[in-house]
Amino acid sequence: MAKGVFPINKFQQLQTPFYYYDTELLRKTLQAINTEAAKHEGFVVHYAVKANANPQILRTIRQAGLGADCVSGGEIEASLRAGFPATKIVYAGVGKSDWEINLGLDNDIFCFNVESIPELEVINELAAQRGKTARVAFRLNPNVGAHTHANITTGLAENKFGIAMRDMLSVIEEAKTMQHIKVVGLHFHIGSQILDMGDFEALCNRINELQNLLEQHRIVMEHINVGGGLGVDYQHPNRVPIPDFKDYFDTYAKKLKLRPGQTLHFELGRAVVAQCGSLITRTLYIKKGATKQFCIVDAGFTDLIRPALYQAYHKIENITSEETAQSYDVVGPICESTDVFAKHIDLNACRRGDLLAIRSAGAYGEIMASQYNCRRLPQGYTSDEL
Ligand SMILES: *Cc1c(COP(=O)(O)O)cnc(C)c1O
């Protein structure tokens, strides 16, 4: 089985665990996104900052011309610092606090994705205080399921996100009475790590129905925002380093009926950054149990929480050993039984000091790191700087 290619000599100088980002792969991924999106008129791509807000990663993505999709004031600040123009920043989230809304207003961001009437009222009030008009899109809950882990579906009626479809018209009517609100779009986001294009087709069908309904009421939106959610191949990071953006954008081009002049916005997170990142960790001890052996490493769920939180699979490679493979449970040092990266996996025989690469860790990895057990936060390095 082919392994990823890493600058091992450079790695030996660094304190483990750390994140390593292959900037060349990130650039190729961004190029694929731009090439495929450009084939369709009116397609605009934003990067969902919550997947990874490492400053160097953000700068590389901004250089490729993507906009920024933020879910907090902190993310708006990080995006502005990385040079994203405010005109390309959209801001979503069920619980926007006043300072966060004010930050968006003061910077004249492109759009607030609004998730409830009470929120709309507050935005109107705060905009009035500043003599501004807020551009808003309504995030609708399309009640479309996604074939992904239950903790990362967001578009079902039972989820906390968005406004119910049956309330769409009344919400739009109400917004019309607010002087400091301009309704410019509809927003959706059905979940994450979606690999079945049928899920996105179902969203397109739902949006087509809603647009027909709006048309009957002579309402036309400037833009439709379909969120993100495209998945990556966690099993085969070496074979499939770049997701199938052609299939993804073609699906929307074929199934979604845009009105003349309407733009279609996307908010991709995982698909942009997951495959370019690896968590590099050092083997501390090999502990042999009665029925299995543990490879105890210096990274834990404080560095990468996805396996503990979502039972997520990450491919692991011993990048400093070519010895015959053996079976291991790869576990971290944290005092919790869930601190396990993988069970019963084959690795080239591990010894103390060996470096392991936990692959496809560029999305929802470094950004979700915590200091539980008073651990240090992992550093992030890019191939550009090493
Ligand atoms: C998380 C999120 C995204 C990005 O999701 P991915 O699965 O990483 O592409 C996009 N839009 C919104 C509103 C989100 O919350």
CB distance 181 to 151 below 8 Å:
no
Give tens-digit pLDDT for 99-134: 999 999 999 999 999 999 999 999 999 999 999 999
Residue 150 predicted with pLDDT over 70: no
Counting Cα atoms < 13 Å in the Cβ hemisphere of 75 gives 22
Q: What are the two backbone dihedrals, phi and then psi, of residue 296, each rounded to the nearest 5 degrees?
A: -95, 120
Mean pLDDT, the chain, as a whole number? 95
Q: Which two tokens stand for residue 340?
A: 């396990």
Residue 195 Cα, ligand 1 centroid: separation in angstroms? 14
Q: What pLDDT is recorded for position 211?
A: 96
Residue 293 Cα, ligand 1 centroid: separation in angstroms? 38
Atom of ligand 1 at shortest distance to CA of 270? 8
Report residues whose beta carbon is within 6 angstroms of any ligand 1 atom. 48, 50-51, 69, 71, 92, 189, 192, 227-230, 267-271
Residue 309 predicted with pLDDT over 90: yes
- DSSP assignments along 2-58, one per residue: ------HHHHHTSPSSEEEE-HHHHHHHHHHHHHHHHTSTTEEEEEEGGG---HHHH
Q: Which two tokens stand for residue 345?
A: 């996996």
The distance of Cα 256 from the centroid of its chain, to the nearest Å, equals 23
Q: Name the nearest CA neighbour of 133 among 104, 98, 95.
A: 104
Residue 145 predicted with pLDDT over 90: no
Residue 289 predicted with pLDDT over 90: no
**Given pLDDT bands bounded at 50, 70 and 90, which one contains residue 149?**
low
Residue 216 Cα, ligand 1 centroid: separation in angstroms? 31
Residue 67 Cα, ligand 1 centroid: separation in angstroms? 13
- Residue 137 pairs in a beta bridge with 113, 185
Residue 155 predicted with pLDDT over 70: no
Q: Which of 192, 193, 234 to mutate to test the pocket of ligand 1 (most atoms within 8 A of CB)?
A: 192
Residue 79 predicted with pLDDT over 80: yes
Q: Name the nearest CA neighbour of 92 among 107, 111, 73, 113.
A: 113
Residue 276 predicted with pLDDT over 80: yes
Provide the residue count of the chain: 386
The helix/strand/coil state of 161 is coil
The distance of Cα 36 from the centroid of its chain, to the nearest Å, equals 19
Residue 146 predicted with pLDDT over 70: no
Residue 158 predicted with pLDDT over 70: no
CB distance 87 to 79 below 8 Å:
no
Give tens-digit pLDDT for 3-49: 889 999 999 999 999 999 999 999 999 999 999 999 999 999 999 99
pTM, two decimals, is 0.96
* Averaged pLDDT for residues 154-165: 76
Query: How far is CA 298 from each of CA 18, 209, 281, rounded to the nearest angstrom?
Result: 10, 52, 6
Q: What pLDDT is recorded for position 1?
A: 57
CB distance 298 to 281 below 8 Å:
yes
Count of C-beta atoms within a 10 Å radius of residue 43: 18
Residue 60 predicted with pLDDT over 70: yes
